[in-house]
């Protein structure tokens, strides 16, 4: 596939003896939105966390196989640098409670001790909040604590915080599962908009969501990549029996 940004080959991950991601091989194209689906406990989160090496924060976590960002093995890049290139948004919004909205957006720079001028910071904050479709709502309250925002706004703040670091890839782990339908659809619109500039990989439990927003869908089952195809293709005529069963609701 041309334009591949992430390339997995026989990639495996373990928690101790628990083999959670089993021999996954897939190419993820640049500036696309890829959905990762599957029943709970099938290793979606773990797979996602391997891409930015968050997996290794767990005690006795282990990986094997090849996972490349462009030409480089992810596991040869220093995790600190890698995580600045691959941003992450979590299931539950987690803005820093001791920081204002403004400081939350530039938190990545502050945490890494990168000095910016006031003008640069102002630019980054406005730009990131605009991209996260939050600017109009918070432009007058930038100095307020981020935790005063609604759940949906907090999640968009977390997206702004991630894209403020100008990452190549954005990983999202069920970013809307804790949100109401209105916030969910605003985040979905936002993601469709963002994929022009970023490669987005989103774990979702919600088939409609995957159908609405993703270009490609990867279906995981018990740690294996059961099927990976263009989303339309997969929903219309799934090739794998397990995918068929899942899509027709035989298990969830």
Partner 1 sequence: MQISTQKIIQQPEKRYKEKEFSAKIPFTIKRERYFRKSLVLAAIGVIILVMAFGCTLVVYSIPSFKALGIHFLYGKTWDPVNNVFGAYPFLLGTLITSFLALIISIPFSISIALFLGEYYPEGWFSNLLKNAIELIAAIPSVIYGFWGLFVLVPIVRHLEMKFGVLPYGVGILTASLILSVMIIPYAASMGREIVKMTPLRLKEAAYSLGSTRYEVIRHVVIPYAKSGLLAGILLSLGRALGETMAVTMVIGNSSLIPKNIFAPGNTMASVIANEFTEAAGSVYLSALIELGLVLFLVTAIINIAGKSIIKRFSKI
Residues that bind partner 1 (CB under 8 A): 52, 54, 57, 59, 80-84, 87-88, 90, 92, 94-98, 107-108, 110-113, 158, 161-162, 165
Judge whether 152 and 183 are in contact, CB under 8 Å.
Answer: yes
15 binding ligand ADP? (CB under 6 A): yes
Tokens 């930015």 -> residue: 52
Tokens of 77: 């890049």
Residue 46 CB, nearest approach to partner 1 (Å): 14
139 binding ligand ADP? (CB under 6 A): no
172 binding ligand ADP? (CB under 6 A): no
Residue 58 CB, nearest approach to ligand ADP (Å): 4
Residue 59 CB, nearest approach to ligand ADP (Å): 8
Residues in contact with Mg ion by CB under 5 A are 45
Where does residue 53 fall: left (phi above 0), alpha (psi -120 to 50 degrees), or beta otherwise? left
Q: Count the site residues for ligand ADP by CB under 6 A.
A: 12
d(CA 147, CA 98): 9
Judged by beta carbon, residue 47 or residue 246, the one nearer partner 1 is: 47
Q: Pick from 34, 46, 104, 217: which binds ligand ADP (CB under 6 A)?
A: 46
Q: Is 180 helix (H, G, I), strand (E, B) or coil?
A: coil
d(CA 246, CA 252): 6
43 binding ligand ADP? (CB under 6 A): yes
Q: In what order do the strands lie in the sheet with 169-173?
A: 72-73, 61-69, 4-15, 18-29, 224-230, 216-221, 33-37, 199-203, 169-173, 86-89
Binding site for ligand ADP (CB under 6 A): 15, 18, 20, 38, 40-46, 58
């Amino acid at each position: 596939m041309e334009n591949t940004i992430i390339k997995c080959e026989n990639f495996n991950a373990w928690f101790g003896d628990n083999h959670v991601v089993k021999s996954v091989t897939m190419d993820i194209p640049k500036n696309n939105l890829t959905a990762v689906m599957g029943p709970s406990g099938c290793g979606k989160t773990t797979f996602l966390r391997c891409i930015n090496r968050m997996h290794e924060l767990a005690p006795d976590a282990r990986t094997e196989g090849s996972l490349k960002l462009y030409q480089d093995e992810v596991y040869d890049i220093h995790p600190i640098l890698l995580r600045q290139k691959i941003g992450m948004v979590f299931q539950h919004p987690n803005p820093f409670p001791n920081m204002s909205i403004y400081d939350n957006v530039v938190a990545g720079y502050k945490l890494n001790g990168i000095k910016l001028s006031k003008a640069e910071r102002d630019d980054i904050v406005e730009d990131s909040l605009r991209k996260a479709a939050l600017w109009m709502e918070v432009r007058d309250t930038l100095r307020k604590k981020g935790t005063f925002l609604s759940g949906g706004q907090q999640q968009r703040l977390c997206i702004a915080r991630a894209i403020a670091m100008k990452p190549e890839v954005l990983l999202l782990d069920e970013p809307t599962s804790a949100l109401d339908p209105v916030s969910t659809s605003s985040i979905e619109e936002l993601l469709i908009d963002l994929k022009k500039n970023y490669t987005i990989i989103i774990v979702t439990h919600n088939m409609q969501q995957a159908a609405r927003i993703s270009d490609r869908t990867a279906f995981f089952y018990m740690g294996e990549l059961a099927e990976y195809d263009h989303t339309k293709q997969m929903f219309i005529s799934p090739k794998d029996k397990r995918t068929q069963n899942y899509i027709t609701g035989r298990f969830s």
